[in-house]
Amino acid sequence: MSTKKLYAGAKLRETRQRLGLTQKDFAAKLGVSLPYLNQMENNNRPVSTTVVLALAQEFGFDVTELSTGDSERLVTDMREAMADPIFGASPPPLADLRLTASNAPALARAFIDLHRAYRQTHERLASLDEALGREESRLQPSPWDEVRDFFHYCDNYIDAVDRAAEHAASQAQGRPMRLYAPEMLERAGISLRLADSDMLRHFDPASQTLTLSNRAAPETQTFQILLQFALLHQNKLLEATLDFARFRSDEARAIAKIGLANYFAGAALMPYTRFLGAAQADRHDLERLATRFSASIEQVAHRLSTLQRPGAKGIPFFFVRVDQAGTITKRHSATRLQFARFGGACPLWNVHRAFETPGRFLRQLAETPDGVRYINLARDVSKPGGAFGAPTRRYAIALGCEVRHGDALVYADDLDLTNPRAFEPIGISCRICERTNCHQRSVPPLERRLSIDSNERGVLPYRVE
């Protein structure tokens, strides 16, 4: 079997610039000539084994980052943008998009930002009564999308916040966080009270009192305590991280701060090193991990998708949460599979069937159009309001990874991972999916020509050529 060549010029160039080295000095430390380094940085030559070893030995670089990073995400995001009818029926070939993502990632991001701005402007013009005369109708990404992209391109792993949370959790000295979290507040001079309230969490700065709803589940209450602790006693760290991100609006910065506090809470509830060890020992059994860390199934699944610490990475998982309309409300992928930025997920995914079987885990072997095979796990998540007449929020979550990690998953037991016919064909979104015979296709793939014959009808009212 031939070995795939590694082209990582952008990552190599970013590493050199981060170290503050000239090409000449960097080439000397890597043991290669200056012209050879220049060719590698411009993707004219693959990164050699000598360079990979030198990066690890000389700089302690996690060489697995060379084959990951932003390229696949950028390619997926550009393909979805190009699926917009505004670009016509002749988008650039996939090879060109991959070349752009590898050689000019900054240009690729600028293009994605431009298309996002166009979409938002188009949506605003569709509702002129809201847009006219309002200052916030300027061209800019929505705060929500900007924050989502921040976590997306950080691989959903924020090292400084994760390590700070792990340090805070170590003070519990092995005690369950559900017992230690209230003590953390008390030592910080904050009073905790429970109330029969629709408000999940409320903090009064004047009295230094945190009030939680007694209708919330115990794991939710613990999470909210840790979140409030982060906002109050990790504020400098959160603000420094926000400064680094350089958000374009105050709204995005405020949303991101809550997101970072949520990240701290999850990382403190499930400290990295201990959680990674437990996940490996329990073979990523979500129910066992939820019991062990007094967390919810959704909290555990989301935490598994963040285990991307350099030098101590867990299995690369994707994690997604959808509502009953199929809209993605949370998404992250450390795998090659990337989710559509707009709209819902592929209807063939088992995540949509989870609503039909509440309280049960559904397993699915799936194959994406690029030939990569995954094992997917889906389950419904209901969040009751805690009182008669209070609305129940219903979601479904999915967690998955490539089948090559099947031996490390309890959910892969008794599944035939070697049988090609056991894998269901799934995609990302119809406009960029290349499958020609999908019975659930809603719109034609933009990159293919159509043949329409009024005298015949198959699965689809057209043939994809």
Distance between start and end Cα atoms, the chain = 31
Whose structure tokens read 């305590």? 225
Is residue 366 scored above 90 in pLDDT?
A: yes
Percent of the chain with pLDDT over 70: 89
**Residues 443, 87 contacting (CB under 8 angstroms):** no
Label residue 344 by pLDDT band (50, 70, 90).
Answer: low
pLDDT per position as a tens digit, 20-33 = 888 888 888 888 88
In this predicted structure, what is the pLDDT of residue 402?
93
User: pTM of this prediction?
Assistant: 0.72
In this predicted structure, what is the pLDDT of residue 181?
94
Cα separation, 416 vs 411, in Å, equals: 12
Summarize the confidence of residues 314-334 as an average pLDDT: 88
Report in angstroms the alpha-carbon separations of 307 from 288, 315, 363.
18, 7, 22
Q: Which of 349, 347, 381, 345 is nearest to 365 (CA)?
A: 349
Q: What is the CATH number of domain 155-314?
A: 1.10.10.2910
- Residue 334 in tokens: 């450390």
Is residue 2 scored above 50 in pLDDT?
A: no
Q: Which of 109, 93, 191 is nearest to 146 (CA)?
A: 109
Boundaries of every domain in the chain:
9-66, 70-127+143-153, 155-314, 316-429
Please give the residue that has the higher pLDDT: either 447 or 157: 157
Cα separation, 389 vs 387, in Å, equals: 6
Q: What is the CATH number of domain 9-66?
A: 1.10.260.40
The full 3-state SS of 373-385, as one line of letters, equals EEEEEEEEEEECC
Is residue 69 scored above 60 in pLDDT?
A: no
Please give the residue that has the higher pLDDT: either 36 or 339: 36
Residue-averaged pLDDT of the chain? 84
Summarize the confidence of residues 225-234 as an average pLDDT: 95
Lowest-pLDDT range of 11-20, 377-386, 394-403: 11-20
Report in angstroms the alpha-carbon separations of 81 from 28, 70, 184, 447.
41, 16, 46, 12
In this predicted structure, what is the pLDDT of residue 4?
57
Summarize the confidence of residues 302-330 as an average pLDDT: 90
pLDDT per position as a tens digit, 255-299 = 999 999 999 999 999 999 999 999 999 999 999 999 999 999 999
Cα separation, 58 vs 146, in Å, equals: 36
